Amino acid sequence: MMTNRDPGELGLYGFRNRSEYGYDKLAVANSSSIHEETVWDILSREGKDSIIIGVPPTHPRHVLYAGEGNSFRNAIHEYYKYVARWLGNCWSLQTRIRRCSSSGDHGAKRMDGAIALNEWLVQKRYLALKRYPTEPTPFDKLEVDWSRTKAWGEGGYYGRISLNIEGREPQGAPKSEYDSLRRQLKEELEALGDTEGNPISTRVVLSEEVYRHTRNIAPDLSVFFGDLYWRSSGMVGGGEIHNKENDTGPDGANHNWDGIFLMPEGKDPGCGSSTTALEGLRLFDVAPTILDTFRIAPLTQMQGETVGWPLPRAV
């Protein structure tokens, strides 16, 4: 959103990414992973100051331990309350602030359950184990037989599948099978239903078909189970493909496709009849709009468009 680049161009496909064509090394994305200019980089170059708070890839990860006697136990909750009050104050000062906006890159929706992606791959004989676990077990704790494995996956709000390919991975399958294996996995996963076999509208995408470019190591397939009403679990064990809980514990929600973009016009930050609904906006439109506020032209490679006033109804 703040670089105006898609995941393929950034080479980042999640908070954790494959850093080499091995089997067990995932790197956590941080500021050193971003090589494209952000909005605040551009503003800084133009002599403007920015305050960046709590944006995950802007700093090496920091762990806040919460527990009894810890004065920071409620810090995150209190911080969000403070930001909400501050944002409300900003919007009430539209006579002195040229433009104030708020945006979020995703929404939230109910979670019907989790689909154990690696368990499914085991049962379909795409993922081979030396020993099947006696209880649900994270992928990095499994004894994988890589010489007989064709594919493995990562959990998360969507699933990412890597194929084990000869000449790329250490113990890969013949490269000639790559395209047919991807198409076969896509077809079978999209046909996977719920516990009763009812269709759930799963979508499987190939990285090169959805991104303009792919840097670093992109997933061979990305799996969006049940229109995101189902998330992906990386666990294996217990024999169940459909689970009611996330692999890290109880969870009632998953990411949703639509984020949020709020920008009151002039002196009217209210939600009355004068509020104009925007449709068809994209994450790519946020960065050019911020730059336009400072009379700075968007970079030529930016994909989005400026949201300007008066606001037409987008189509």
* Per-residue pLDDT at 194: 94
Residue 210 φ then ψ, to 5°: -115, -15
- What's the angle, vertex CA 159, arms to CA 153 and CA 161, rounded to 5? 40
Q: What is the mean pLDDT of residues 180-206?
A: 95
Query: What is the pLDDT, as a whole number, of residue 68?
Result: 63
Of 80-84, 89-93, 96-100, 178-182, which gets the smallest average pLDDT?
96-100
CA distance 164 to 149: 7
146-165 pLDDT per residue, tens:
999 999 999 888 999 999 99
Tens of pLDDT, residues 229-270 = 999 999 999 999 999 877 777 777 888 888 887 776 554 444
DSSP 263-296: --BTTB-S-STTPPPP-S--GGGHHHHHHHHTT-
Structure tokens that stand for 53 in this block = 């708070």
> What pLDDT was estimated at residue 265?
58
Kindly give, in sequence order, each residue whose CB lies less than 8 Å from that of residue 153, ignoring residues fewer than 6 positions away. 117, 118, 121, 139, 159, 160, 161, 162, 223, 232, 234
Would you state the structure tokens that stand for residue 32, as one six-digit string?
A: 């050193």
Higher pLDDT, 117 or 287: 117
- Cα 114 to chain centroid distance, Å, stands at 16
CA dist 264 → 99, 168, 272, 291 (Å): 8, 51, 11, 17
pTM of the model: 0.79
Q: What's the pLDDT score for residue 206?
A: 93
Side chain identity, residue 300:
T
Q: Is the pLDDT higher at 302 or at 141?
A: 141
Contact 136, 159 (CB under 8 A): no
**Average pLDDT, integer, range 163-183:** 93
Lowest mean pLDDT among 56-60, 63-67, 111-115, 198-202: 63-67
Per-residue pLDDT at 191 exceeds 50: yes
Per cent of the chain over pLDDT 70 is 83
Mean pLDDT within 104-132: 93
Range with the lowest mean pLDDT among 163-167, 274-278, 309-313?
309-313
- Contact (Cβ atoms closer than 8 angstroms) between residue 166 and residue 173: yes
DSSP 226: G
pLDDT averaged over every residue in the chain: 82
Give the highest mean pLDDT range of 69-78, 108-117, 207-216. Answer: 108-117
Residue pair 225/115 in contact (Cβ under 8 Å)? The answer is yes
